Amino acid sequence: MGRASPPYSFGKPPMSLAHVILGLLQQQERTGYDLKTKCFDDCISHLWQADQAQIYRTLDKLESQGWITCNVEIQHDRPNRKVYRITEAGEAELTHWLQTHHPLPVLREPLLVQLYFAAQLPNEAIVYLLEQELEARQEKLAQCETIEALSLSNPTASREQKLHRLVLDLVKQREQTYLDWLEKAIATIRSQST
């Protein structure tokens, strides 16, 4: 008991986006548009990026799965809103998923491939590549700091906020590790004879 019986058919093991959405809908009811603009883009872009089309299609699947329900709000000045709410089955599924270990995600970084095969390139070309990456990573760290300022600025440290803080700490440290390594790598390549 606790979970629906076997024939799920909907996306087996990870299905992570579905569960991110369940988590967000457990906080409060929302529309697809709210999820995209207020949640994914403004609050958890450091954590999970999602395409608008995929959000709407996942909402459809979650609804036909019985994990969320939909209530259409008629609006006259604007398009109607489909407000989604998590169901009891959805909460059970979320609670189960939250406690399940998932395999480490596969990382595929073009920059590392480039560096791995860069032996044929002149040093300046390699340094240029690393500098562009450095710039992109600095920008990403800045985005993390924006999110930090927006959502973790007030001193009220609820249990939830402490967890959000932990998550953001990792993401920031990850970027910092990258930045440190890039600076070291640039110095190493520069000091090298071609």
The helix/strand/coil state of 173 is helix
What are the start-end ranges of the E strands in the chain?
A: 68-73, 81-86
Q: Is 87 in the site for DNA (CB under 7 A)?
A: no
Q: Please name the amino acid found at residue 118.
A: A
List the structure tokens of 15: 């299905």
Residue 24's nearest CA partner among 37, 40, 7 is: 40
Residue ranges in 53-72 that form contacts with DNA under rule CB under 7 A: 53-54, 56-57, 59-60
Q: Is 76 in the site for a second copy (CB under 8 A)?
A: no
**Contact of 63 with 70, CB cutoff 8 Å:** yes
Q: Which member of 89, 118, 152, 179 binds a second copy (CB under 8 A)?
A: 118
Q: Which member of 80, 132, 173, 177 binds DNA (CB under 7 A)?
A: 80
Q: Which is closer to a second copy, CB of 59 or CB of 130? A: 130
Residue 92's nearest CA partner among 32, 16, 166, 26 is: 26
Q: Which residues bind a second copy (CB under 8 A)?
A: 14, 16, 19-20, 23, 26, 44, 47-49, 94-95, 97-99, 101-121, 125, 128-129, 132-133, 136-137, 140, 158-160, 162-164, 166-167, 169-171, 173-174, 177-178, 181, 185, 188, 192
